[in-house]
Structure 1
């Protein structure tokens, strides 16, 4: 998959409910190749829900999502075009950084990089064979974010990506996201802290 082709994500009047509780109501967004949308708003307003709904973890109550690849004659499902990194790291503490990333390599498809290559870009090559339980919170977060780099996918869904990162690691992540956008990728970031990247689309939930 070449993320440099022209891609678009279109969300129209999206609503998500759990039982009788409405988690997200009437959300619309168009995101094109090279764009990042920062989703902000008070706690509990539906930022994480939006990302999880796009990733396919929640069924849609109403509305629709469309994924368009203008150069693809038979585009893959949206789930095969995205990476999702939640606000929790989702790592197994007893496994090494290499082993945790190998789990992702097992089902993420082609255009692969090795765990060493991905960790090297996150400046963590030296922890490759350490159990992640021995790592600091910031290092664990960078290992989780390294999943973005092991397989090329055009859409990145990031839930509070700056959590636990120090100033240097934040700058590193911003550089990596900027490179993804420059290559034609798309990013949605649910965040309380802006990434400050050029051309950011602001999506504020909880306001009428």
Structure 2
């Protein structure tokens, strides 16, 4: 484990950075507040200037993760994709990319047991990324008569669940997580099968 150390500047962020490193190394519930303080190079008492306990510290890690995640999702969706389907698939790939690049944030967000409404700030950040996927889902279903459209919140949640499953099973580098296909190919194929089943894309798309 690399001790990052705190020397000057933003103590709160130094503690978040220390917690993220510990989450990567030990899991989101595998460290104490004292260990976070030690990794940041401060006394345990200093932590309480910014956080009431470990749960609040992890919630801040999750909030920052959701902010990064929402930015990535928004960029993927609005990045000049040639079609609504391509934009929708891009958000799925952004999910995989985020989990690989920001494992500490990802675990704080989805594996720590922290409720998405633990703080108003966390709830707002989480809502941003969810809104991007729902917007992409809504655009994808515009060609279907309103009375026959599946609710965008429903099928975007299904895609979110599929993306999460691919990450957990095949994209985290865990022992035994072997597949003859790349996580990106698995997700793209799964999205295609699911959307065809809903009638959202044509069989030959």
TM-score, length-normalised on structure 2?
0.30
TM-score, length-normalised on structure 1?
0.30
Higher helix share: 2
For CA contacts below 8 A with separation 6 or more, give which structure has more relative contact order.
1
